[in-house]
């Protein structure tokens, strides 16, 4: 019994020592990778949402899942662009990023664009709950406009999108 | 050759046939003529009921006038002159096209306006640089051009002086623009293809003429002439030096894997088939142009684009 308690104590102690490390800032490369993962997740949910909303998929029972996910992932947008993840001339290890310097150079404008997206996503989430498809499509269009508005000013055009397929 | 209604202006180099010769037409050609006339009739009836001003407002959106002629970045008034358009040939500023008599086009006659749109010439005879897509607008029907004018002249005049273009010395004379026109431009009105259905023809008209998609999506040679062999196949040097993607049916570099629905949805909202949203210059095109189109017109564009042959491999989408 005593040995077991000692074991637990050891684990807790080691855990406590590790805590500060876990709280430390992520490496910029990992931040960029995570950002891409979240954005790709967002695209996937948007895509799934639309397939249902436009009745191509018979899955109304799942629509809310995707509406919630879009709102939740939008909620992360504030924290996805820390200063050290701005594009740099960087080493070869740094993942490619389409994030434009304007995100950091015009941080207030960027914050406003993020807020707009979060509000539009929250409205979409609420509207999805209503089940009124006309309203859902309207809310979706507004959320799409917010996505597009932010991409227009703060994301480099994905000119190499097709390269990946070659 | 089908006979097009002749414009009342002699100087317009149209391909119409004032003599309208019927004798000697074979039955087949006559049938083609009748079918084409039918399509033209369908065209002109699409917006029957709408006034010229309303129709013109729709056409101004569909023609992409707003994106270039409004200085969004600088908070300029609508259509009172545009933001800098940076091209490989210099920086251009689209002029004020509100009906202000002094700084806009308020004193222009119908003939002046037609000549600008169909021939690329200013009322004083000076030539426009082909950055103004008169090469595409030359295909517009006279009715459409006049409706556009009616709409523009219904807007409140905005007094805003035009900014001079910033061009290298060898292009700074309008004579250069005239020489270019002489060498590379033939004014041709759009001719519906009688063997195709109305939506296809409407799509061709929107893509090639009113919407002038090829101005960005088709590559140009060193003289700025669009490469007809690579029409809509992607442009490695689009406006602001940006690459512009292939929109032919090429399944790898173009939109060959997109369904008609996906194309229409993209034109309406800017959503790509994978759920991403476009940014960049196309974002303004969607906001100012394609999102304002009727569902039927977006469908027509999708129908036409999907009928295009896949661009051969090459510098597609600038990749």
Closest by CA to A99, choosing from A78, A113, A116, A85, is: A85
Contact: A152, B280; criterion CB under 8 Å: yes
* Average pLDDT across chain A, whole number: 83
Residue A93 banded pLDDT, cuts 50, 70, 90: low
Nearest-Cα distance to chain A for B130, in Å, is 25
CA–CA gap between residue B138 and residue B125 (Å, rounded): 17
Pair (B213, B272) in one structural domain: yes
pLDDT for the residue numbered B33: 53
Pair (B134, B160) in one structural domain: yes
pLDDT for the residue numbered B9: 37
Higher pLDDT residue, A21 or B116? Answer: B116
Class of domain A21-82+96-157: mainly alpha
Residue A14 banded pLDDT, cuts 50, 70, 90: low
In a domain, B56, yes or no: yes
Half-sphere exposure of A144 (CA within 13 A, CB side): 27
Distant-in-sequence, close-in-space partners of B95: CB < 8 Å, separation ≥ 6: B69, B81, B82, B104, B162
Q: Which residues 111-140 in chain A show a CB within 8 A of chain B? A: 140
Size of interface A-B (CB pairs under 8 A): 83
In this complex, which of A48, A144, A151 lies closest to B269 when CB atoms are compared? A144
pLDDT for the residue numbered B15: 37
Contact: B243, A50; criterion CB under 8 Å: no
Question: Which tens digit of pLDDT belongs to each residue from A120-152?
Answer: 999 999 999 998 999 999 999 999 999 999 998
pLDDT for the residue numbered B39: 55
Nearest-Cα distance to chain A for B294, in Å, is 16
Contact: A43, B274; criterion CB under 8 Å: yes
- For chain B, how are helix, strand and coil distributed in percent, rounded to 5? 45, 5, 50
Pair (B144, B220) in one structural domain: no
Question: Cβ distance B187 to B138 under 8 Å?
Answer: yes
Pair (B92, B121) in one structural domain: yes
In this complex, which of B246, B268, B278 lies closest to A151 when CB atoms are compared? B278
Contact: B279, A151; criterion CB under 8 Å: yes
- Record the tokens describing residue B102, joined without a space: 């002094």
Question: Cβ distance B96 to B169 under 8 Å?
Answer: no
Domain span at B255: 198-318
**Is the pLDDT score of A102 beyond 90?**
yes
pLDDT for the residue numbered B186: 87
Average of per-residue pLDDT across A4-23: 52
Question: Cβ distance B53 to B154 under 8 Å?
Answer: yes
pLDDT for the residue numbered A87: 78
Pair (B228, B164) in one structural domain: no
User: In chain B, which stretches have pLDDT less than 70?
Assistant: 1-50, 314-319
pLDDT for the residue numbered B40: 53
Contact: A148, B273; criterion CB under 8 Å: no
Closest B-chain CA to A163: B319
Query: How many structural domains does chain B have?
Result: 2
pLDDT for the residue numbered B21: 36
Where residue B306 sits, what CATH number does that domain have? 1.10.760
């Amino acid at each position: 019994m005593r040995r077991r308690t000692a074991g637990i104590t050891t684990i807790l102690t080691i855990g406590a020592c590790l805590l500060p490390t876990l709280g430390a800032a992520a490496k910029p490369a990992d931040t960029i990778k995570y950002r891409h993962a979240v954005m790709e997740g967002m695209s996937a949910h948007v895509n799934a949402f639309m397939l249902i909303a436009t009745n191509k998929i018979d899955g109304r029972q799942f629509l809310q899942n995707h509406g919630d996910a879009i709102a939740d992932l939008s909620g992360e947008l504030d924290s996805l662009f820390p200063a050290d993840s701005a594009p740099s001339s960087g080493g070869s290890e740094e993942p490619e990023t389409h994030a434009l310097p304007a995100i950091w150079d015009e941080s207030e404008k960027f914050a406003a664009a993020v807020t707009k997206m979060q509000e539009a996503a929250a409205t979409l989430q609420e509207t999805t709950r209503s089940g009124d498809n006309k309203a859902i499509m309207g809310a979706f269009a507004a959320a799409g406009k917010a996505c597009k508005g932010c991409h227009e000013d703060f994301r480099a055009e994905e000119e190499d999108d097709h390269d990946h397929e070659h | 050759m089908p006979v097009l209604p002749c414009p009342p202006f002699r100087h317009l180099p149209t391909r119409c046939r004032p003599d309208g010769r019927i004798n000697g037409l074979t039955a087949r050609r006559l049938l083609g003529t009748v079918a084409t006339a039918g399509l033209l009739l369908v065209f002109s009836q699409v917006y029957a009921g709408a006034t010229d001003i309303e129709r013109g407002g729709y056409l101004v959106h569909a023609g992409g006038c707003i994106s270039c002629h409004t200085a969004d970045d600088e908070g300029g008034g609508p259509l009172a002159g545009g933001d800098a358009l940076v091209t490989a040939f210099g920086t251009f500023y689209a002029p004020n096209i509100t009906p202000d008599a002094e700084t806009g086009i308020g004193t222009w006659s119908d003939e002046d306006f037609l000549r600008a749109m169909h021939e690329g010439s200013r009322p004083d005879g000076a030539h426009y640089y082909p950055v103004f897509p008169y090469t595409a607008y030359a295909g517009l029907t006279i009715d459409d051009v006049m409706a556009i004018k009616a709409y523009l002249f219904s807007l409140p005049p905005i007094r805003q002086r035009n900014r001079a273009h910033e061009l290298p010395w060898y292009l700074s004379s309008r004579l250069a623009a005239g020489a270019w026109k002489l060498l590379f431009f033939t004014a041709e009105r759009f001719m519906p293809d009688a063997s195709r259905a109305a939506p296809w023809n409407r799509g061709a008209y929107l893509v090639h003429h009113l919407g002038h998609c090829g101005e960005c999506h088709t590559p140009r040679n060193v003289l700025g002439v669009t490469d007809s062999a690579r029409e809509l196949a992607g442009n490695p040097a689009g406006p602001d030096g940006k690459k512009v993607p292939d929109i032919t049916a090429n399944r790898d570099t173009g939109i060959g894997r997109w369904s008609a629905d996906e194309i229409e949805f993209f034109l309406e909202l800017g959503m790509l088939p994978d759920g991403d949203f476009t940014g960049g210059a196309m974002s303004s095109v969607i906001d100012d142009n394609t999102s304002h189109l009727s569902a039927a017109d977006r469908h027509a564009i999708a129908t036409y684009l999907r009928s295009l042959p896949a661009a051969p491999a090459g510098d597609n989408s600038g990749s």
